[in-house]
């Protein structure tokens, strides 16, 4: 590849600190790669002396792969590619070996006993005498992350939302200390303190890696920046590439300000700007550049492109969520000249992926799902619905029955259920209840009805059966009262219900529907549909960072989802920080597209009218202006 002059200047930077500040698709990552080759082949720096850091595992692997393509055989696999977290984890491990004391890592998405979620749920309950909902738990974890990443000592100025956050934070830290546990965020704080406390270790790392490169520098948090600074000193051969407009991890403590004021820490820092966008058509570059100007807090950059005008980005408003799915499939099928892997469907929330995956599966379109964290299939609500349907098909299914017996508004008592589960019955658990000696005649009548109701349900289409659970068993009423259910908002449950109904529409029987759910769950577990080859990419906008596709479909672009409800509340309170971050995320999505960009929203969802994302309005205004 022939690098342009600006890129070459950056690539030839060898000693001292440097920052490359540039927009999407301008070749920041390309410059990092080329610089690696230059340092090794031209300057004669040993590949083992270079530490190349990036933000997430996927980006790290991609960098490694791309780099190995152009390095000589003997130099391959010698450069250390790492995420900041895994590097810090290594520092902690080295320290553990030296101290002969091992810590237990609690990280990942594990939700089971002893997981981070589990511990925090417990501490929250102890502190606030109430259970914490999944959304609140997510928020608490982010708040802890932010506090750690910003290295906060006290919380006086910290705008946390979690009730009694300081006490929970301290109790959680204390718990981990006594049990010798360490979580994802601690890896950073531990590594930082180890490097400060053990100068010999710091010197060893510095000797090992006299050259450090960092991609996606805008997502560095305070503590990460301090760690990089420590490692790079005193020679400061530090080369960072960044785009403040793509900073999308503020909610976890990323602070692009460190990069924008880098000269405070490195007064002799060389600054490079890349202005030519090599990725996207002129239409996409111009439109996205106008959109990001809605953000007030940013470093303004020039974005040029030598690529031609081609198709304008397309804004589509579908009648409802089903029409949106049809529209996605239609658009993909139109891309006859593109390979499936050139197409990506991007969404704000992981949950959007379930119905899309179902639709693609139904249309035999191969796909893979990136960094998926969908807990849809394991969610208690979905499991309840599955249990209702399973019980309808088999009234002897005691597992299903135990799950739903108090959620069907049929006034069954604990004693009746226990009696039934212990008694011998032939056709239905309900028969077991009918043998309970204390039943009044009117109760017998009502309980007998349950049997008939489930039998009726078993013959229904899955859509009708789901509606029956909602309308006849009044499930939503039951779980409102259900004291053990974590306080997930009704809104969220209806959302899950909507997804189930969407999937159910494509299935003629309950058996087919349950089979379909199982097949989808399998795909989500494996990250890929059964077909060979990678297929279309389904990804959250966050996980799409740094990547590019010929055709990008951004979907579910509705207010309350994107920007999210919290963000809108914040905005109404005169706070624009979250909105700016959401807009950057929208911008990241748009700038993944090389040629085709579709912005799609449904007008209604779950029969509720939706307003299209305010970012679409802004895009349309930019188009006109
Ligand atoms: P992002 O901000 O999204 O991470 P980036 O600045 O890292 O983008 P790259 O991914 O390095 O950009 O490059 C974008 C695309 O432009 C890639 O397909 C790359 O191969 C191509 N590219 C970069 N520089 C040049 C060049 N000088 N000539 C031709 N193509 C180029
Ligand atoms: Mg990049």
Q: How far is CA 560 from CA 87, 257, 352, 382, in A?
A: 37, 28, 14, 22
Dist. CA 254–CA 578, nearest whole Å: 13
For the chain, the structural domain boundaries read 5-88+194-276, 104-179, 292-372+529-624, 380-501
Number of the ligand 1 atom closest to the C-alpha atom of 33:
11
In three state form, how does the secondary structure of 67-83 look? HHHHCCHHHCCCCEEEE
Dist. CA 323–CA 604, nearest whole Å: 10
Tokens of 333: 């099928």
Dist. CA 364–CA 341, nearest whole Å: 15
Quote the pLDDT of residue 59: 82
Quote the pLDDT of residue 282: 94
CA angle 98, 104, 105 (to 5 degrees): 110
Task: Report yes or no: 180 and 215 within 8 Å, Cβ to Cβ.
Answer: no
Instruction: Check if 278 has its Cβ closer than 6 Å to any atom of ligand 1.
Output: yes
Across 600-615, average pLDDT: 95
Quote the pLDDT of residue 153: 86
| Residue 490 banded pLDDT, cuts 50, 70, 90 | confident
Q: What is the dihedral of CA 74, 76, 80, 86, to 10 degrees?
A: -140
Quote the pLDDT of residue 439: 80
Instruction: Check if 29 has its Cβ closer than 6 Å to any atom of ligand 1.
Output: yes
Q: How far is CA 134 from CA 111, 120, 241, 493, 625, in A?
A: 11, 11, 36, 12, 42
Quote the pLDDT of residue 491: 82
Distance 25 CA to ligand 2 centre (A): 7
CA angle 196, 202, 204 (to 5 degrees): 165
Neighbours of 95 (CB within 10 A): 19
Neighbours of 295 (CB within 10 A): 17
Ligand positioned closest to the Cα atom of 30: 1
Dist. CA 19–CA 566, nearest whole Å: 34
* Same topology between domain 292-372+529-624 and domain 380-501: no
Task: Report yes or no: 490 and 476 within 8 Å, Cβ to Cβ.
Answer: yes
Instruction: Check if 589 has its Cβ closer than 6 Å to any atom of ligand 1.
Output: no
pLDDT tens for each residue of 209-235: 999 999 999 999 999 999 999 999 999
Q: Could you tell which of 4, 24, 215, 279 is best to mutate to test the pocket of ligand 1, judged by most ligand atoms within 8 Å of the CB?
A: 279
Tokens of 326: 């049809």
Task: Please give the class, per CATH, of domain 380-501.
Answer: mainly alpha
Dist. CA 328–CA 332, nearest whole Å: 6
Number of the ligand 1 atom closest to the C-alpha atom of 7:
27
pLDDT tens for each residue of 422-445: 877 777 888 888 888 888 888 888
Q: How many CA atoms lie within 13 A of 515 on its CB side?
A: 9
Instruction: Check if 1 has its Cβ closer than 6 Å to any atom of ligand 1.
Output: yes
Quote the pLDDT of residue 397: 93
pLDDT tens for each residue of 447-463: 889 999 999 999 999 99
User: 292-372+529-624 falls under which CATH superfamily?
Assistant: P-loop containing nucleotide triphosphate hydrolases (3.40.50.300)
Check: CATH 3.40.50.300 for 5-88+194-276?
A: yes
Task: Report yes or no: 465 and 321 within 8 Å, Cβ to Cβ.
Answer: no
Quote the pLDDT of residue 418: 87
Task: Report yes or no: 239 and 18 within 8 Å, Cβ to Cβ.
Answer: yes
Query: Which residue is it, tokens 């802890």?
Result: 144
Instruction: Check if 28 has its Cβ closer than 6 Å to any atom of ligand 1.
Output: yes
Dist. CA 490–CA 303, nearest whole Å: 44
């Amino acid at each position: 590849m022939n690098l342009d002059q600006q890129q070459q200047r950056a690539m030839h930077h060898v000693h001292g600190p440097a920052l490359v500040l540039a927009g999407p698709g301008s070749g920041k990552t390309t410059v990092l790669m080329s610089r690696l080759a230059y340092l090794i082949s031209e300057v004669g720096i040993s590949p083992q002396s270079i530490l190349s850091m990036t933000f997430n595992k996927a980006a790290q692997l991609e960098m490694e792969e791309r780099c190995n393509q152009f390095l000589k055989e003997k130099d391959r696999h010698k450069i250390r590619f790492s995420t900041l977290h895994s590097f810090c984890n290594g520092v902690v491990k080295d320290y553990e070996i030296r101290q002969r004391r091992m810590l237990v890592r609690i990280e990942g998405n594990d939700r089971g006993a002893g997981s981070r979620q589990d511990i925090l749920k417990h501490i929250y309950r102890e502190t606030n005498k109430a259970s914490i909902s999944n959304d609140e738990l997510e928020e608490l974890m982010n708040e802890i992350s932010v506090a750690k990443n910003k290295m906060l000592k006290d919380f006086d100025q910290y705008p946390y939302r979690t009730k009694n956050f300081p006490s929970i934070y301290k109790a959680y830290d204390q718990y981990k200390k006594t049990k010798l546990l360490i979580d994802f965020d601690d890896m950073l704080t531990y590594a930082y303190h180890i490097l400060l406390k053990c100068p010999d270790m710091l010197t060893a790392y510095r000797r090992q890696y006299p050259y450090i490169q960092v991609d996606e520098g805008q997502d560095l948090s305070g503590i990460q920046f301090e760690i990089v600074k420590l490692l790079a000193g005193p020679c400061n051969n530090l080369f960072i590439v960044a785009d403040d407009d793509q900073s999308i991890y503020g909610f976890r403590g990323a602070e692009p300000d460190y990069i924008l004021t880098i000269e405070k820490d490195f007064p002799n820092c060389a600054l490079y700007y890349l202005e030519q966008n090599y990725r996207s058509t002129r239409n996409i570059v111009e439109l996205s550049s106008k959109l990001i100007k809605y953000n007030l807090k940013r470093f303004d950059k020039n974005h040029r492109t030598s690529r031609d005008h081609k198709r304008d980005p397309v804004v589509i408003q579908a009648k409802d969520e089903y029409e949106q799915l049809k529209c996605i499939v239609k658009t993909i099928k139109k891309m006859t000249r593109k390979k499936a892997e050139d197409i990506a469907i991007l969404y704000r929330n992981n949950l959007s992926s379930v119905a899309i995956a179902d639709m693609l599966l139904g249309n035999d379109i191969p796909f893979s799902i990136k960094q998926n964290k969908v807990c849809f299939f394991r969610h208690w609500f979905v499991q309840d619905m599955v249990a209702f349907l399973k019980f309808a098909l088999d009234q002897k299914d005691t597992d299903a029955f135990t799950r739903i017996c108090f959620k069907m508004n049929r006034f069954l008592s604990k004693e009746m259920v226990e009696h039934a589960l212990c008694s011998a019955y032939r056709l239905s658990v309900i028969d077991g209840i009918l043998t309970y000696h204390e039943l009044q005649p009117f109760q017998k009548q009502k309980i007998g009805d349950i049997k008939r109701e489930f039998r009726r349900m078993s013959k229904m289409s899955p859509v009708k059966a789901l509606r029956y659970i909602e309308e006849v068993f009044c499930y939503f009423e039951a779980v409102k009262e259900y004291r053990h259910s974590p306080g997930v908002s009704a809104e969220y449950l209806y959302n899950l219900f909507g997804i189930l109904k969407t999937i159910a529409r494509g299935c003629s029987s309950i058996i087919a529907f349950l089979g379909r759910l199982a097949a989808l769950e399998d795909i989500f577990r494996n990250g890929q549909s059964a077909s060979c080859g990678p297929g279309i990419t389904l990804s959250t906008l966050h996980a799409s960072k740094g990547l590019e596709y010929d055709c990008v479909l951004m979907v579910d672009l509705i207010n309350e989802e994107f920007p999210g409800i919290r963000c809108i509340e914040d905005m109404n309170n005169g706070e624009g920080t979250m909105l700016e971050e959401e807009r950057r995320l929208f911008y990241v999505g748009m700038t993944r597209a090389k040629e085709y960009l579709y912005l799609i929203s449904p007008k209604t969802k779950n029969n509720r009218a939706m307003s299209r994302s305010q970012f679409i309005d802004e895009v349309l205004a930019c188009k006109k202006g």
